[in-house]
Amino acid sequence: MGDLAVTALLIVALFALLGSGVWIGLTLSGVAWIGMQLFTNRPAGDAMAVTIWGAASSWTLTALPLFLWMGEILFRTRLSEDMFRGLAPWMNRLPGRLLHTNVIGCAIFAAVSGSSAATCATIGKMTLPELGRRGYPENMVIGTLAGSGTLGLLIPPSIIMIVYGVTAEVSIAQLFIAGVLPGILLALLFMGYIIVWSLLNPARIPPPDRELPLLEKLRASRSLIPVVLLIAAVLGSIYAGVATATEAAALGVVGALVLSALQGSMSWKTFRESLFGATRLYCMIALILSGAAFLTLAMGYIGLPRHLAEWISSLGLTKFWLIVALAAFYILLGCFLDGISMVVLTMGVLLPTVQKAGIDLLWFGIFVVLVVEMAQITPPVGFNLFVIQGMTRHQLPWIAKVTFPTFVLMVVAVLLVYLFPEIVTWLPSQMRR
């Protein structure tokens, strides 16, 4: 069979299994087994056992369940709830006022969560009822929350960065550092949008709360201090080079447990639920990663990545148009798959092409995270849209419509990162010195 026929057969098998409700990880393993069995001479069972064991026992991957557990602890304790009360007094003077708590709250929680859905759900639980009660326009509250929730993928520690680092063999610590400035850039773009919209629609913004003296503001913000200290400990240990991503994740878990215990919000029930929640989520991700590793091996034996790379090279695309094509490809893929599945499904095929085009894999990792962020708010499988739909009961098309301006701002962020790659590479280059 020709390459085109083999590719078509595997794609049909992939979508048939996904459409029938089979788990993504098992689907990837099944498609890989079909490819190995039909189109290669290597025994599929032996290859599957070796590859899945190797993928599941990777030491680098141990950071993932720990960061997931840290996020679950914060999600289920009072630490996250205290953030709104600490942020609100400082927003009165900004155009848009408390709408900015969506963006800043998501940025802070992203730095201790690593999950877009967890960030969106946690901040949404605080801001949606509070901003609704104060009379802020619902379309702006929901739109900025959905967009800002995606910061959970970009601001380290990020689960998707760990997944990319493992699959692309790029330093996770370097990826974390590379995501800091793009994360700040995107947060500032969101805040700029809120400011411009508020200046154009001043009548729709409720009047400010009573202006508090500085001492009262600081007293109200004391609940932010534990979260900020935890962020500083986790990320500072990585940036200072005294801890690996895995060791920093362990530090984060211990810190979250200690802080929640000191605040009196940690119970045996909360501890158990946070541990079970992190375990369930990690098992799902590990199964997807294992299946993707086997699929990558199968495609390597069949030769599909090499042929795809040769075909793309034959098109004579410049680096810019290659990036545009890849961005469009990921946004389209995001209509059907979640972010982790997108990364692990495509890396084996695309990395040879990206390397041949001379694109830095560290920069490409941040680019992939940005376009996967767009997929989080792209219907019909935008995870953040589902999270907000569950909290507000609005229809998905309406949520997607009010979120669209933040999607456009992400496109602007991708363009800026392409035009000024130092936004990604400058901080990591400083750490290497």
**pLDDT for residue 37:** 85
pTM value is 0.75
Instruction: Give yes or no for residue 84 having a pLDDT over 90.
Output: no
Q: Quote the radius of gyration of the chain (alpha carbons, Å).
A: 22
pLDDT at 1 over 60: no
**pLDDT, average across residues 398-418:** 92
Q: What average pLDDT does range 419-432 have in this prediction?
A: 86
Query: Residue type for 144, please?
Result: T
Residue 81 is predicted with a pLDDT of 63
Work out the percent of the chain whose per-residue pLDDT is above 70.
90
Predicted confidence band of residue 405 (pLDDT cuts 50, 70, 90):
very high
What's the pLDDT band for 419 if we cut at 50, 70, 90?
very high
Tell me how far apart the alpha carbons of residues 48 and 297 are, in angstroms, rounded to a whole number.
9
* Model confidence at 125: pLDDT above 80: no
Whether residue 303 is predicted with pLDDT greater than 90 in this model: the reply is no
Confidence band for 424, pLDDT divided at 50, 70 and 90? very high
Longest Cα–Cα distance in the chain: 75
Show the 3-state SS of the chain. CCHHHHHHHHHHHHHHHHHCCCCHHHHHHHHHHHHHHHHCCCCHHHHHHHHHHHHHCCHHHHHHHHHHHHHHHHHHCHHHHHHHHHHHHHCCCCCCHHHHHHHHHHHHHHHHHCCHHHHHHHHHHHHHHHHHHCCCCHHHHHHHHHHHHCHHHHCCCCHHHHHHHHHHCCCHHHHHHHCHHHHHHHHHHHHHHHHHHHHHCHHHCCCCCCCCCHHHHHHHHHHHHHHHHHHHHHHHHHHCCCCCHHHHHHHHHHHHHHHHHHCCCCCHHHHHHHHHHHHHHHHHHHHHHHHHHHHHHHHHHHCHHHHHHHHHHHCCCCHHHHHHHHHHHHHHHCCCCCHHHHHHHHHHHHHHHHHHCCCCHHHHHHHHHHHHHHHHCCCCCCHHHHHHHHHHCCCHHHHHHHHHHHHHHHHHHHHHHHHCCHHHHHHHHHHHC
CA distance 138 to 144: 10
pLDDT digits (tens, 9 = 90+) for 239-289: 777 887 788 888 888 988 888 888 777 888 889 988 988 888 788 777 877
Instruction: Calculate the average pLDDT of the chain.
Output: 81
d(CA 169, CA 148) in angstroms, rounded, equals 28
Q: Say if CB 103 and CB 194 are below 8 A apart.
A: yes
Tell me the per-residue pLDDT of 200-246, one tens digit each, with 9 for 90 and over. Answer: 988 888 877 666 676 777 776 777 777 778 878 887 887 777 887 78
Cα gap 80→90, rounded to integer Å: 17
pLDDT tens string 145-176? 988 888 878 887 788 888 899 888 888 889 98
Instruction: Out of 79-83, 214-218, 241-245, 419-423, give the one with best mean pLDDT.
Output: 419-423
Q: Which amino acid is at 319?
A: K
